[in-house]
Amino acid sequence: MSGCPRGSTNCQLSLTELFNRAGLIAQKFQTAAMDLYNEFHQQYSGEQGFLSQGIVPCHTALIPSPVTKEQAQSYTNEQLLGTCLSILRSWEEPLSHVLTEARKLPRVSRVILSKIEDVEAQNMHLLQGVQKIMEQVRPGSVAENQAYSTWSGLQRLKSTSQDTRLHGFHVECRCVRRDANKVNNLLNIVKCRMDPSGGC
Amino acid sequence: MRTRALSPEARLRGPTGMDLWPLLLTLALAGSSDAFSGSEATTAILGRASQSLQRVNPGLGTNSSDKPTFTKCRSPELETFSCHWTDGAHHSIRSPGSVRLFYTKRITQERPQEWKECPDYVSAGENSCYFNSSYTSIWTPYCIKLINNGGTVDQKCFSVDQIVQPDPPIGLNWTLLNISLTGIHADIQVRWEPPPNADVHKGWIVLEYELQYKEANETQWKMMDPVLSTSVPVYSLRLDKEYEVRVRSRQRNSEKYGEFSEVLCVTLPQMSALTCEEDFRFPWFLIVIFGIFGLTVMLFVFIFSKQQRIKMLILPPVPVPKIKGIDPDLLKEGKLEEVNTILAIHDTYKPEFYNDDSWVEFIELDIDDPDEKTEGSDTDRLLSNDHQKSLSNLEAKDDDSGRTSCYEPDILETDFDASDMCDGTSEVTQPQRLKGEADLLCLDQKNQNNSSYHEASPATKQPSVILAEESKPQPLLIGGTESTHQAAHTQLSNPSSLANIDFYAQVSDITPAGSVVLSPGQKNKAGISQCDMHPEVVSLCPDNTYFCEADAKKCITVAPHMEIESHAQPSFNQEDTYITTESLTSSAGRSGTAECAPGSEMPVPDYTSIHIVQSPQGLVLNATALPFPEKEFLSCGYVSTDQLNKIMP
């Protein structure tokens, strides 16, 4: 993978290179989210009370994003990238709260905490990467306020009821896994559009 | 009665008892017919019976539960999905399609949840629901439920991006990459196409593939690592074998693989005639053979070699333990008596296996009577004795013991000769050894400082008593209570004349009555009583260093002899842990009565006959000399258990 030479300033990586890197980080982001979900359910599988509380929509559900292939193909690159940015940005705050509240979980293992940290880190890296790509694709667009969802899940995480708390964590783990998958997918679409020969 | 065993899962439910009657009747008929007709008829009846069973219970053997349940929901390409369920037990009774599926998409929590029915029950097969792309929303939670007769029988929630299981890849083919120089192996490149319904080119779905291959006649597939590309090389296939290859795919970052593709048969070109026929296999067999042969040769060379040095190098002699004071031959020959005797020299010896009751402990008395002792005569007498070697029976071949008195190495004798006596010379050296080691007691007449007896008794005061004051008071006890554990060896040495300070007397014989006959001594010596130490007796014989056990009166009566008897005070080598019947030597003028005689100036007989052999604690001596008893004899101051047993009545 080519990169900027050491010590150079104003070096601009090619778009292809940026996409390659973003693609790798998105992969890690998705893998980390999947691991977190699995680890959480493995740890607290005995307490199934939280699963019966029904499906709660994710806080990023309202961010406009394609839900079918046809829709995705109708989005422009900037739209797709903007969606990714919105999603990634929407997760910055919730992930930090998830980490804080997870430390208060009963019998929380170091593994879960490290996986939450991993997800948080990849989210941040991917956000920066996609911002860089956005800068190149549409200069100046990043400065605009990208819509992002507010998060109301903190109440659940701080609930006194253990079932509610675990349900809250379950919701966040499920949602971040889903969103990582979505971002990874959308970025790949843009990448294959821009570089069809690169493994698409 | 031959009946087909019902499946353990079969549950007869639903149908009433009336429905079972045909079945039971059929079974009964089948059983009865078995007795009359051949197997064919039975089979036919059984077949009909099973069919009737199936009709009654259609779910028999196919479904363990009577409720429809979801089995799997799957999306092959992230654009459509389908869900399958199992049929309940009542399917055949009711019209097909009585089980209905409803779904809902939970977009937001505000929107009321509407349950919609499955749009397509057909396309995906029986008991399934197919959602085409218009009904499929990715990254959207779905909930589905099965409704049967108005009641929800199963419910499930998921999102489509989590249920992706791609179709198998298609278009497998292989090309030869190269052939090894040996002409035995070859590399091939296997290529395939992604499943046609997966849109990988637009980047909508990213697939990774796993290739498996095996030889045609094997059963175990070899797996390769997942790859993202649609071609992969397979290395090192043998040219003379046929291989099978298959590929399956899954969405990247998913866990579930799709189905395997069709198997691709790889038939490699035949080897040319010029190629090697066999792989080079390392000749382990030859190496092993030659190695064993060489080692054997070397071993034989060393074993039969006359070169001791080499032998020593290869097979060094193993050092054997060396026990001080014991001839290993003794141990080999099982001569326990001698061994015990030798061991008794050491302090810690405890001959538990001896008969304690008959064991006699003897006191070694050193009679030091300068007035009466004629050193020379006794010594001379001893020196002239040829039987001193009896003592050596006990100690053989121990150069380290330092004991030469009474012992002579390499002479083993179990018989105790009546005339055995300690060697005078050995006697002389005795005291020194006595100091150092618990020794068989051979009185050393020369050693005026023989071990003295200490047993809670005052030191010998009698000048005639030759007691060696040892630094270490170790009770040698005649009948001393604490010496029961000690090997008591009677060392009967030839007593010298009274005039000579007789440190010992030789027991020439032992009467059956228990008396010890001493070899003829010059004078009559007071019987030295080997007695227990009893405080009460002490009071009676205050001057005694030892005490009579049962002859307290004798202490008084023999008062005149007491002073001599003091010799009988056990001249214990302080370090001796056993007592020898040294009283014999004590020139205390015992007169046959066992008594504790204080040291007196009277001449004591050379010997004392044992009057009574009491418990291990005591031996009462007679002062009178008795005719020689039978031949069992003690040599050098110890009595073997056998002899003692004979002595005892």
Residue A200: closest CA among chain B residues belongs to which residue? B201
Contacts of B637 (CB under 8 A, 6+ apart): B362, B364, B391, B406, B422, B440, B441, B442, B443, B489, B490, B491, B492, B493, B504, B580, B581, B582
Q: Over range B439-463, report the average pLDDT.
A: 43
pLDDT, greater one: B413 or B246: B246
Q: Does A60 touch chain B (CB under 8 A)?
A: no
How far is A8 from chain B, CA to nearest CA, in Å? 34
DSSP per-residue letters across B299-320: HHHHHH---HHHHHHHSPPPPP
- Phi, psi at residue B189, to the nearest 5°? -115, 125
Least confident stretch, A137-141, A167-171, A182-186, B529-533:
B529-533
Q: Evaluate whether B623 touches B592 at the Cβ level (below 8 Å).
A: yes
Q: Over range B637-648, report the average pLDDT.
A: 60
d(CA B621, CA B69): 108
Both tokens of B1, joined, read 């009665």
Q: Does B217 touch chain A (CB under 8 A)?
A: no
Q: Does B138 touch chain A (CB under 8 A)?
A: yes
pLDDT, greater one: B253 or B615: B253
Q: Taking 60 as the threshold, does the pLDDT of residue B173 lie above it?
A: yes
DSSP β-bridge partners for residue B250: B208
Q: Taking 80 as the threshold, does the pLDDT of residue B139 lie above it?
A: yes
d(CA B500, CA B380): 11
Angle between helices A162-194 and A77-90 in degrees, nearest 10: 160
How far is A44 from chain B, CA to nearest CA, in Å? 19
pLDDT of residue B107: 72
pLDDT, greater one: A103 or B463: A103
Q: Is the dihedral of CA B399, B405, B408, B413 positive or negative?
A: negative
In this predicted model, what pLDDT tens digit does every residue of A121-133 receive, in sequence order? Answer: 999 999 999 998 8
Q: Taking 80 as the threshold, does the pLDDT of residue B4 lie above it?
A: no
pLDDT of residue A57: 84
Q: Considering only CB atoms, which chain B residues are within 8 Å of A27?
A: 252-253
pLDDT of residue A87: 93
| Best CA proximity match to B390, nearest among B488, B289, B508 | B508
CB contact under 8 A, A188 and B206: yes
Q: Does B324 touch chain A (CB under 8 A)?
A: no
pLDDT of residue B632: 44
- Report chain A's mean pLDDT, rounded to a whole number: 86
Q: Over range B105-125, report the average pLDDT.
A: 82
Banded pLDDT at A84 (limits 50, 70, 90): very high
d(CA B360, CA B614): 7
pLDDT of residue B65: 64
Question: What 3-state class would DSSP assign to B74?
Answer: strand
Residue B134: closest CA among chain A residues belongs to which residue? A68
Banded pLDDT at B611 (limits 50, 70, 90): low
Q: Taking 60 as the threshold, does the pLDDT of residue B572 lie above it?
A: no
CB contact under 8 A, B204 and A27: no
Q: Considering only CB atoms, which chain B residues are within 8 Å of A70?
A: 133
Q: Taking 60 as the threshold, does the pLDDT of residue B72 lie above it?
A: yes
Q: How many percent of chain B have pLDDT more than 70?
A: 37
- Phi, psi at residue A52, to the nearest 5°? -85, 5
Q: Considering only CB atoms, which chain B residues are within 8 Å of A31?
A: 253
DSSP β-bridge partners for residue B130: B82
Q: Does B115 touch chain A (CB under 8 A)?
A: no
Q: Which of A31, A57, A200 lies closest to B203 in CB terms?
A: A200
State the best of B156, B161, B202 to mutate against chain A, taking most chain A CBs within 10 Å: B202
Q: Considering only CB atoms, which chain B residues are within 8 Å of A69?
A: 78-79, 133, 199, 202, 204
pLDDT of residue B386: 47
Least confident stretch, A54-63, A181-190, B193-202, B288-297:
A54-63
pLDDT of residue B12: 40
d(CA B252, CA B200): 11
Q: Considering only CB atoms, which chain A residues are within 8 Å of B108?
A: 57, 61-62
CA distances from B604 to A125, B545, B569 (A): 116, 17, 12
How far is A55 from chain B, CA to nearest CA, in Å? 7
CB contact under 8 A, A191 and B203: yes
Q: Considering only CB atoms, which chain B residues are within 8 Å of A68?
A: 79, 133, 136-138
- Phi, psi at residue B82, to the nearest 5°? -145, 150
pLDDT of residue B560: 45
Both tokens of A194, joined, read 């821009």
Other C-beta atoms lying within 10 Å of the C-beta of residue A31: 17
Banded pLDDT at B277 (limits 50, 70, 90): low
Burial class (CB in 10 A: 0-12, 13-18, 19+), B209: buried
Contacts of B507 (CB under 8 A, 6+ apart): B490, B492, B516, B517, B518, B519, B581, B584, B607, B610, B633, B634
Q: Does B293 touch chain A (CB under 8 A)?
A: no
Q: Considering only CB atoms, which chain B residues are within 8 Å of A192?
A: 201-203
d(CA A58, CA B58): 44
pLDDT of residue B255: 87
Other C-beta atoms lying within 10 Å of the C-beta of residue B146: 25
Q: Taking 50 as the threshold, does the pLDDT of residue B546 lie above it?
A: no
Banded pLDDT at B332 (limits 50, 70, 90): confident
Radius of gyration of chain A from Cα atoms? 18
Q: Which of A61, A178, A192 lies closest to B108 in CB terms?
A: A61
Q: How far is CA B384 from the centre of its chain?
A: 59
Contacts of B145 (CB under 8 A, 6+ apart): B101, B102, B103, B115, B152, B154, B155, B156
Which of A98-102, B10-14, B357-361, B406-410 is modeled with the greatest confidence?
A98-102
Radius of gyration of chain B from Cα atoms? 55
Q: Does B113 touch chain A (CB under 8 A)?
A: no
Q: Evaluate whether B551 touches B594 at the Cβ level (below 8 Å).
A: yes
In this predicted model, what pLDDT tens digit does every residue of A13-30 receive, in sequence order? Answer: 788 888 889 999 999 999
Both tokens of B621, joined, read 């001596």
Rounded to two decimals, the pTM is 0.51
Q: Does B252 touch chain A (CB under 8 A)?
A: yes
DSSP class of residue B467 equals -
| Best CA proximity match to B425, nearest among B445, B441, B402 | B445
Q: Taking 50 as the threshold, does the pLDDT of residue B344 lie above it?
A: yes
Q: Evaluate whether B34 touches B42 at the Cβ level (below 8 Å).
A: yes
Banded pLDDT at B273 (limits 50, 70, 90): low
- Report chain B's mean pLDDT, rounded to a whole number: 64
Least confident stretch, B84-88, B371-375, B376-380:
B371-375
Which residue type, as a one-letter code, is found at position B633? F
CB contact under 8 A, A200 and B136: no
CA distances from B582 to A8, A139, B597 (A): 112, 124, 13
Q: Over range B494-514, report the average pLDDT.
A: 61
pLDDT of residue A73: 92
CB contact under 8 A, A55 and B106: yes
Q: Over range A85-99, report the average pLDDT.
A: 93
pLDDT, greater one: B45 or A196: A196
Question: What 3-state class would DSSP assign to B266?
Answer: strand
Residue written as token pair 């948080």: A120
- Phi, psi at residue B620, to the nearest 5°? -100, 130
Q: Over range B621-627, report the average pLDDT.
A: 50
CB contact under 8 A, B109 and A199: no
DSSP β-bridge partners for residue B518: B507
Residue written as token pair 């030839």: B494
pLDDT of residue B138: 92
Residue A186: closest CA among chain B residues belongs to which residue? B204
